[in-house]
Structure 1
């Protein structure tokens, strides 16, 4: 074997799956790039029972989804899953038992289908902070997704090792790649913190990483590179779903009739894009529900501050990751005007990018260990 081929063969396959309540984030081989390089993608955290009828194949194009087995049934998951949704299908599990559910299993297997690997040396999975602090949940994921996994379509993947980490930790690890942008946030704040000269300076700071997701708002308080577990945590029913549900309830009161669960993704998209919502041929400006939205965000922020347990006076910077940062940034900046509040670039994928760094570092360290005789 040539030296170049041996080098390619020696590169371990490290992959990441971060299953959130709103989106599934993952890493996979980057097409047309050097061996070992990855790209990141995401798809909706929705799993709909598979339609076995021939009608599904009658569309003008094939939808970008997979049928995967979970808990003895088949579920459809993937980029175009909204095409499988009907008015009564929610396709989500917005509860604290999500990580034990068939929907989580289906979404994880869908992510593995997108990776299209036969063997994964190390798979890094993310959990909300409160779930991660439960060792039974960590152990369950490590045992369930290690070994040979049936991912549907006649495909199986062998996963040699599983590593579970708290979701916001990925964002913290990735922060070192954004020092220039972070310094801009520091310079625009009236506080005493000076711009950083290098990424190593981050280790000396007290950093609050906030991850407002679909169902939970997670936070990690990290001092000198170490997680303060007593001042870290998560608030349930404190994420984007709460905002969308509050707008849905206000909109139902306005139109005078119930709106089905399939309306919620439409509201979410309209809020995210700043566009009007169209329902039954009528458009609605969701800007009129601004006070409803602020109230839905202010309560989780208050719960976060309470959960930091009086340590907020030690915070040097606040970093926001996750898919819905803007309103949380504004609320936190209002509460802490002298502390820089930095939103990570492409924040939805920040945790996944950091997990990839963690996984590759673990494999590099393992390769440097002397082998037993």
Structure 2
């Protein structure tokens, strides 16, 4: 792994920073998850972060698609001779809860991943970037550990990339990072919030005097994603590969599947895949899920949810190979990790457990910082 200079990383600011001079390289980042694609793009003279669902639907060329009061926010991008619709409004093209997704281990080299990455690049092009000097891409930990997968992404997305409607974007250099490393890179931007958690925990770790002190700690980064639970043990700014890893079928999709099965048993009829997005939204909003005009509270399934999360954390602890004994700080990134925090606090009451602000975008914000640091170097 190419390790950026951590002191330089810590000196950088986040995505709302003052823009770099025009002579500086153009750096962009994409984090393709199983649930959402997160990316950075030009916003005026600065950088903004947006996301869209990780769904790519075979494009519909019929006139019916154009009916409506507004054009939906999607693009048709080319992949291996076919076209896929991707973007923020892709749910309007969805037929069934799982159609257009790919949660296999070969995700990174499939048509869905390519369509999603090209969709992110298209958003960057529409925002004004014809050339990207440094593009940072992320992979789940278990995939990042395979050098062939990193090489594949570099070779596949460096150069001129077709992004639909006869448009192209040029990417001069691709850097691949393990997804939770992005959250670690952005951690120094939130020292005040972090120190409050450290103080409230009351363990052996004192409040940190500055962001550079993070690089003296053993920090366990945990990313409960849509399909996998990823973790990185970072010691003195460097990944410990023997104590880092991922557990498949240990993310949010397993929680949703458990709730769906329990809800179907409760109401006495099977529930198809189209119901899963509604359950997902209800869990995020801590609200009832509405099915066939009836509101079903989901609080009754909390024991089943927590059992799934506890099993996922147990698998992670096993994968740490006793390295949890040396952990100074646990940091959570990813969408809605609060229940994972609750389990970890109970399991490790003397270790501060910190949820990154805006956790869903934490990795891509950190990727942007990593890319800027490496571009300057």
TM-score by length of 1: 0.93
The alpha carbon displacement at 1:87 in A equals 3.1
Contact 1:96 1:236 in 2 (8 A): no
Matched with 1:278 is 290
The CA deviation at 1:8 is 4.6
Q: Write the mapping of 1:111-122 to structure 2, written as runs, cut at 5 A.
A: 111-116=120-125, 117-122=129-134
User: Using the alignment, how far apart are the partners of 2:174 and 2:96 within structure 1?
Assistant: 37
The match for 2:51 is: 42
Worse-matched range after superposition: 161-170 or 85-94: 85-94
Cα drift, residue 154 of structure 1:
1.6
Q: TM-score, normalised by structure 2?
A: 0.92
Q: CA deviation at 1:97?
A: 1.4
Q: Distance in 2 between matches of 1:251 and 1:52?
A: 37
1:324 is displaced (CA, Å) by: 2.6
Within 5 Å, give how 1:60-99 maps onto structure 2: 60-87=69-96, 90-99=99-108
**Distance in 2 between the 1:8 and 1:224 partners?**
31
- Is the Cα–Cα contact under 8 Å of residues 246 and 293 in structure 1 kept in the other structure? yes
Q: Are the aligned partners of 1:125 and 1:164 in contact in 2 as well (CA < 8 Å)? A: yes
C-alpha contact (below 8 Å) 2:97/2:275 kept by paired residues = no
Q: How far does the alpha carbon of each residue in 1:256-298 deviate from its partner, in whole angstroms, 9 at most, with x for none?
A: 3322212111111100011111111111111111111111111
What secondary structure sits across from 1:208 in the alignment?
strand
Matched with 1:59 is 68
> 1:254 is matched with which residue: 258, 261, 266?
266
Shift of 1:61: 1.2
CA distance in 2, matches of 1:271, 1:192: 35
Superposed displacement of residue 49, structure 1: 1.1
Distance 1:11 1:187 in 2: 40
**CA shift at 1:86, angstroms?**
1.9
Q: Which has the higher contact order (CA 8 A, sep 6+)?
A: 2
**Is the contact between residue 26 and residue 40 of structure 1 (CA under 8 Å) also seen in structure 2?**
yes
For 2:301 and 2:278, how far apart are their aligned partners in 1?
15
Other-structure match for 1:12: 25
- 1:144 pairs with 2:121: no
1:105 aligns with 2:118: no
- Paired residue secondary structure (1:10): coil
Matches within 5 A, 1:1-373: 8-31=21-44, 34=45, 37-87=46-96, 90-116=99-125, 117-365=129-377
Q: Matches of 2:21 and 2:284 in 1, distance apart?
A: 41
Q: Deviations over 1:311-341 (max 9, x none)?
A: 1111111000111311111111110000000
RMSD between aligned residues: 1.2
Check the 8 A contact 1:85/1:262 in 2, yes or no: no
Instruction: State how many pairs are aligned.
Output: 355
Secondary structure at 2:201's aligned position in 1? coil
Preserved CA contact (<8 Å) 2:131 2:170: yes
CA contact (8 A) 1:240 1:324 kept: no
Gaps of 5+ in 1: 1-6, 366-373
Provide the rounded CA distance (Å) in 1 between the counterparts of 2:101 and 2:269.
23
Q: CA deviation at 1:224?
A: 1.5
Shift of 1:245: 0.8
Kindly provide the CA deviation profile for residues 70-125 of structure 1, in whole angstroms up to 9, marking residues without a partner as x.
Answer: 23211111111111112365221112111111110110011011111211111100
Q: Which runs of 5+ in 2 are unaligned?
A: 1-19
Question: How much has 1:56 moved relative to structure 2?
Answer: 0.5
Contact 1:17 1:123 in 2 (8 A): yes
Supply the distance in 1 between the matched residues of 2:328 and 2:334 (Cα, whole angstroms). 20
Provide, for residues 98-155 of structure 1, a one-character-per-residue CA deviation record: whole Å limited to 9, x for no partner.
1111110110011011111211111100001100000111011000001111110221
